[in-house]
Amino acid sequence: MAKKAKGKKPTFFADPQVDKLMAIVMALAGEVSVLRERLDTVERLAENKGLLSRQEIEAYRPNPQAAEEREQWRTEYVRRVLRVVREELEAVERGETTPESYEAAIQAVSS
Amino acid sequence: MIYEQTQHDLLPHATHDEQARQNFVQSLKVHLATSVSPGNKAVYEKRAKPRFERENKRVPQDRHDVRRVMKDEPYYQTWSALLRTSQEMMWDSVATSVERQLPALIERAKRNGKTSGSLTLNPSMPIPAYHTAVDIHCQPGAYHTETTTDDVAAGAIYDRAVHVYAMGRLGPMNDDLGASLAAYVKHQYPNFRPHKILDMGCSVGHSTIPYVDTYPEAEVYAIEIGAPMLRYAHARAEVLGKPVHFSQQNAEHTNFADGSFDLIVSHILLHETSSTAIRNIIRECYRLLKPGGMMFHVEVPQYHGMDPYDSFILDWDTYNNNEPFWGTLHDMDLVELATSGGFAQKNVIQTAIPSAFKTARSRTGLFQGGDFGGGGEWFVFGAVK
């Protein structure tokens, strides 16, 4: 079955790569929504079976160790999501922001 | 607000994740229609229009002027990219679900029906160029493509996707276009008793069924160019217990005899044709109608007399959703079109009719790209022979 509709796809941004990025971001947003619905189903089924109540979930307060582990996870998560921003800064710090700087590296190993 | 679609026996089943994916697309579309798209007007009034006036020393005259100046506005670009993405995600979320269960759907479609309806396919009928040039409204494979024997995929995809596309506002059976027009005809012509009715470009017959219900004594015929649509439409009508005679025919030239029908209808068919085809279709309607018979075609409003911005925002699909004839149709002089097909000028009808699905929520009261059914009314073009 064909996946793409026949006909040239329009682009809207000055750089068509941004259009592509938008589509990828929205696909991810869609999958987050799919996961959220599945989790919601799990919670409701678990509640129906008396395994837990959703009030228990709402009332849950992590103990200090759990809170610390969660904080570590969130820190790592944010770092992963914003990886490109951190790497941009590292590149500035190392002076590797121009194409010439990389071409120099090619020259260095090729000559 | 998510509307449930009636899970009739032909409608593809969705797994938990497939359903959630389709729900997301629908929620995204509602958000774009209600909260993002209307902002384009402010962007136009406050930024784009003054910029156009500065650069051109005149006000924007038409939808083309507005489009040229809006295409550089970042807000419009973002909305457009999101809307196009929602359309592609919609087809993908439904098509992957249908592909997974296609053999079972094909078997279900083959079951003998209970009614006196029929299905006549014509594999040698050429698919018109205006349906093969691009895949209309971005449905991969459009109405006609078949990839396996007795294929019903295009129909199954369409039935489910139309519900997502219209955000449920065509009702649980997707029948609002037909139900609205049937109610209008019944109300407007209470003594009209059609014996034979034809629905042109019926796709999955979702708009056809209301005529069976409104005129139970009439024979109802429906034609369509796509075989996978027709197989699905016939099986769908059968499981619903509604007798309809489906056949694979091009509305430009059918095999029905002169004067066969009392009532000919179409629902969002005309904008998916061409300048040549639409004239052939209107002429064919005239040929097929009995004297005193009537044709009615449901669409969204024409651009004539519309504010340039409003026609621009309603015209989005022409350029961005594989609807190449949308804009040309909405600029056409329909009185001239009808008279060129044989109808008398005084017998031409152009009117707005209310949606039959009055309880629909999330309506914007607007006619804008990506907000199908948001206006709460439909435009009808018709004529009496």
> How do residues A68-84 score in pLDDT, each as one tens digit?
998 888 888 887 877 88
Give the whole-angstrom CA distance, residue B222 versus residue B244: 7
B88 contacts A1? CB cut-off 8 A: no
Cα dist from B296 to A19, B1, B68, whole Å: 40, 32, 34
B141 contacts A1? CB cut-off 8 A: yes
The residue extents of the domains of chain A are 33-60, 63-111
Between A109 and A44, whose confidence is greater? A44
Of all residues in chain A, the one with the smallest CA distance to B84 is: A10
Answer whether residue B1 shows pLDDT above 70: no
| Percent of chain B topping pLDDT 90 | 91
- H-type alpha helices, B166-315: 176-188, 209-214, 227-239, 275-288, 308-314
B24 contacts A29? CB cut-off 8 A: yes
CA distance B208 to chain A (A): 27
CA A51 to chain centre: 32
What does the pLDDT average to over B157-161?
98
pLDDT at position A77? 83
pLDDT band of B271, cuts 50, 70, 90? very high
pLDDT at position B313? 97
B89 contacts A7? CB cut-off 8 A: no
Average pLDDT of chain B to the nearest whole number:
95
Of all residues in chain A, the one with the smallest CA distance to B70 is: A12
B99 contacts A2? CB cut-off 8 A: no
What does the pLDDT average to over B242-253?
98
A13 contacts B81? CB cut-off 8 A: yes
Task: Tell me the per-residue pLDDT of A17-42, one tens digit each, with 9 for 90 and over.
Answer: 999 999 999 999 999 999 999 999 99
Residue keyed to tokens 């000559």: A111
Query: Is B142 within 8 Å of chain A by CB?
Result: yes
A26 contacts B86? CB cut-off 8 A: yes
Comparing CB atoms, the residue among B81, B132, B147 nearest residue A22 is B81
Strands B377-384 and B289-299: antiparallel
pLDDT band of B177, cuts 50, 70, 90? very high
What does the pLDDT average to over B192-217?
98
Residue A86 exposure: Cα atoms within 13 Å on the Cβ side: 7
The candidate with the shortest Cα–Cα distance to A28, out of B29, B21, B95, B99, is: B21
pLDDT at position B327? 96
Whether the Cβ atoms of residue B258 and residue B288 lie closer than 8 Å to each other:
yes
The candidate with the shortest Cα–Cα distance to A29, out of B160, B28, B81, is: B28
Query: Is A6 within 8 Å of chain B by CB?
Result: yes
Between B270 and B116, whose confidence is greater? B270
pLDDT at position B61? 96
| Percent of chain A topping pLDDT 70 | 100
Give the whole-angstrom CA distance, residue B86 versus residue B92: 10
Residues in chain A with CB shorter than 8 Å from the CB of B20 are 33-34, 37-38
Question: Which of A6, A43, A45 to probe by mutation at the B interface, max B CB count within 10 Å?
Answer: A6
Q: Is the dihedral of CA B287, B293, B297, B303 positive or negative?
A: positive
SS3 B111: coil
Q: At what angle do helices B153-165 and B227-239 cross, to 10 degrees?
A: 70
Strand partners, B353: B378
What does the pLDDT average to over B279-307?
97
pLDDT at position B49? 96
Residue keyed to tokens 């570590």: A72
Of all residues in chain B, the one with the smallest CA distance to A36 is: B20
Give the whole-angstrom CA distance, residue B348 versus residue B335: 6
Specify the CATH architecture of the domain B1-385. 3-Layer(aba) Sandwich (3.40)
What does the pLDDT average to over B343-347?
98
B80 contacts A33? CB cut-off 8 A: no
pLDDT at position A108? 85
Residue B194 DSSP symbol = -
Answer whether residue B348 shows pLDDT above 70: yes
B134 contacts A22? CB cut-off 8 A: no
CA distance A51 to chain B (A): 21
Give the whole-angstrom CA distance, residue B162 versus residue B343: 33
Task: Tell me the per-residue pLDDT of B6-62, one tens digit each, with 9 for 90 and over.
Answer: 999 999 999 999 999 999 999 999 989 998 999 999 999 999 999 999 999 999 999
ipTM of the complex: 0.80
pLDDT at position B2? 62
Whether the Cβ atoms of residue B174 and residue A37 lie closer than 8 Å to each other:
no
pLDDT at position B317? 96
